[in-house]
Structures are given as structure tokens and as C-alpha cells.
Amino acid sequence: MTATRYDRRMYAVMNDRRAAAVYATAGRRRLLVGAHVVLTGVGVAAWIGTVFGSGWILAVAVAATLLPWVVLTGALNGSTRGLLELRGRMLDERQLVERDRVRAVAHRLTLWLLVAAAFGTGAYGVLADAPLRAAVTPALVGVLAAHWMMPLWVAGLRVQDEPREPEEEFGDAS
């Protein structure tokens, strides 16, 4: 199959190196992933509170987390060069294998998160002597959000640093 205009445009966007300094090192990528995890957690918790609770403050929190979350998502996608966003025909064999590995690791992590959520909601029901539906829906929404984002987080943590040019590594020899 040949690449479409959309494929070529997305490839160009995902491989744009103008913001590469933001995610150039493993430490910066870990910081991006950590901030993205926190923003995702805050946004999802605020959304759950808005749906199952009351108050406009939580709705404002959802709105306030959205823009930085989108920016961080773009930075993580850029750091992986679109590993998870590009169609398979735009990736080489090495990238396809890496995407499969990322998805497998994310799947295993999400499995353990589901196990923890099941035990946590069960424990809540027993210890709080409350109906399980009070804990199940928020837990499921939280795990769904983590399931959705886990491949991006794993890919952001697994991506390797770009090879340095010799003059960057050793300084200017002149």
C-alpha cells in the first residue's frame, strides 16, 4: 500500500524536530511521562467528581488540565516519532517490532492495574460496608484512562536518545 497525503503529513508532524530539546534526554522524557501521568490522573479524577458529584470547581479543573495535557501528549508523540500514531505502512520493521513490544508491556501493566482495581474495589466494599457500585464505576473509568494512555507512557519511557554528532559529543576540535 502506498502512503496517502494524510500519512505523509502525519509523518512530517510526528518527525518535526523543532521541539526535540524538550524530550532530548531520558530524564526529560521521564519528566514528561510523569507530568502526563499526573495530569491524566487529575483530569480523570476531576471528571469523575464532576459526573458523580457536584460543583463547578471540578469542571474548571478538567478544563484547566486539558491544554497542558494535550501539549504533553504531543511532546510524547514527538519523542517517539509517532510510533503509536502513525499507520503501519509509515513505519519501518524496527519500529513495527518496537510498537508491538510497547503494546505488550502496556498490556501487562494494564492487566496488573485491573487486578489492583478489582481488589481495591472489593476491599472498599468490605471495609466501608458500602455498595460496590460506589467504587466500581470510578475505578473502571480510571483504569480505562490508564489503559488508553499506557502505551504512550511506556513508549515515552522506552525511546532511546538520539545519537549525538561527534562535534556535540567532544566539543569543537578547531
**The pLDDT of residue 146:** 97
For the chain (174 residues), the mean pLDDT of every run of 10, in chain order, is 89 90 93 98 94 87 96 95 94 95 98 95 88 86 96 96 66 54
**The pLDDT of residue 120:** 92
**The pLDDT of residue 87:** 94
Decide: pTM greater than 0.75: yes
**The pLDDT of residue 132:** 82
Q: How far is CA 73 from the centre of its chain?
A: 7
Q: How many CB atoms lie within 10 A of CB 111?
A: 11
3-state helix, strand, coil in the chain (%, to 5): 75, 0, 25
**The pLDDT of residue 19:** 86
